[in-house]
Amino acid sequence: MSNAPRTEEDAEYKKLCENHKHLIETLPKCNGWWTPHLHNYNGFWLSPDILKANLLLHTYFKSHPTDIFLASFMKSGTTWLKALVFSTLNRHCYTFSDHYLHKHNPHSAFSPLDAESYPITDFTNSSTPRVFSTHFTRTMLPACMSSCKFVYVCRDPKDVLISMWHFMNKIRSKDLPPLSLDEAFELFCLGVSDYGPFWEQVLSYWSASLEYPDKILFLKYEDMKKEPEVVVKKLAAFVGKPITVEEEEKGVVREIVKLCSFENLSNLEVNKEGFEKFGRLVNIEKRDFFRKGVIGDWKNYLTKEMKERIDGITAQKFKGSGLIFTATG
């Protein structure tokens, strides 16, 4: 952010925003999930404000070699990943009986790049390593970030769809009618959802993780549910703070898993009341980050035909990539 102007009145900044506005007006658009429209930019669908944030990111964001980015498609386990990474990285700063996460929603631990208040935000005082979250596809990120470490979490698209449909109806503009599941399903299958198409976004990180395995840790929500302790150990090693034998014996991994579990986080008072602000874009009720936190809730919503259609798209898009989702029914 070194060259970022400090005020929104900066003439160059205003000119840039004006150019972005004109660019966005020329882009193809489609019905949105929580905003009236999504715009297609370089093959991906974004709401106008998130797209503006992406364009500004390219001008103003300067990565540091030690930065870590937590990337995901929406509703794939970002909240959980933030909690796990925060408590793993900072395990020497807090006790498990008096922890930052007892008093703060996991989203407040790390800044989301996608909704940042450019050009005002100044990350220079952030601790090292700086950690950010993003839902942008890998190909939409500034080139300077490509040498940094990423942790990516993906999830069965059927569960992503159902989670996203519930969530979007919560944050959807009250001026719009509720989004029906049929419409959400159709849009999702066509790739038209915030940050979508889902499959291309996942593949952008998957292929990068094959090419740069020491730079991108690719996780699956389903594996995290099944073997959270294994994942915590992987995360710790990846961020350069491996769990020691002594820590393991003292039960540190178990404590991190317990602290960040759906049951624990969703029952904390701090996550039941109030809002989490994402840059200047949107206020989200903290309780809306926690719904069921299970694998396979799609079975309660999707017909056999819907399931087969999504599975068919997944099989076709991921064919030959080596990426396989554990069957959830």
Q: Which is nearer to ligand A3P, 221 or 238 (CB)?
A: 221
Q: Which is nearer to ligand A3P, 121 or 328 (CB)?
A: 328
Beta-strand relationship, 275-278 and 282-285: antiparallel
Residues 72-131 that bind ligand A3P (CB under 6 A): 72, 74-80
Q: Which is nearer to ligand A3P, 114 or 297 (CB)?
A: 297
**Distance of closest approach, residue 74 Cβ to ligand A3P, in angstroms:** 6
291 binds ligand A3P, rule: CB under 6 A: yes
Count CA atoms within 13 Å of residue 163 on its CB side: 24
Contact predicate 131/67, CB 8 Å: yes
Cβ neighbours of 307 (radius 10 Å): 16
| Cα–Cα distances in angstroms (integers) from residue 155 to residues 78, 104, 199, 221, in the given order | 10, 25, 11, 5
Among candidate residues 20, 99, 107, 135, the one labeled active-site is 135
Q: Which is nearer to ligand A3P, 262 or 318 (CB)?
A: 262
Please tell me whether residue 320 adopts helix, strand or coil conformation. coil
C-alpha 139/C-alpha 144 separation (Å) is 12
Contacts with ligand A3P by CB under 6 A: the residue count is 21
By CB under 6 A, name the one of 156, 159, 247, 255 that touches ligand A3P: 159
Question: Containing H/E element for 273?
Answer: none
Site string for ligand A3P, 214-253 (x = CB under 6 A): ----------------------------------------
107 is catalytic: no
Q: Which is nearer to ligand A3P, 13 or 45 (CB)?
A: 45
Bridge partners, 45 (sequence order): 40
Q: Which is nearer to ligand A3P, 78 or 111 (CB)?
A: 78
Contact predicate 284/171, CB 8 Å: yes
| Cα–Cα distances in angstroms (integers) from residue 17 to residues 32, 42, 60, in the given order | 22, 19, 12
Tokens of 272: 């039941």
201 binds ligand A3P, rule: CB under 6 A: no
Cβ neighbours of 36 (radius 10 Å): 13
Residues 252-281 that bind ligand A3P (CB under 6 A): 260-262, 265
Q: Which is nearer to ligand A3P, 77 or 157 (CB)?
A: 77
297 binds ligand A3P, rule: CB under 6 A: yes
By CB under 6 A, name the one of 87, 293, 314, 325 that touches ligand A3P: 293
**Distance of closest approach, residue 85 Cβ to ligand A3P, in angstroms:** 12
195 binds ligand A3P, rule: CB under 6 A: no
Beta-strand relationship, 149-154 and 131-134: unpaired
**Distance of closest approach, residue 147 Cβ to ligand A3P, in angstroms:** 25
**Distance of closest approach, residue 227 Cβ to ligand A3P, in angstroms:** 13
Bridge partners, 31 (sequence order): 37
Residue 249 CB partners (closer than 8 Å, separation 6+): none
Tokens of 179: 């989004």
**Distance of closest approach, residue 244 Cβ to ligand A3P, in angstroms:** 25
Residue type present at position 290: F
Beta-strand relationship, 275-278 and 216-220: unpaired
Q: Which residue ranges make up the site for ligand A3P (CB under 6 A)?
A: 72, 74-80, 159, 163, 166, 260-262, 265, 289-293, 297
The catalytic residue positions are: 135
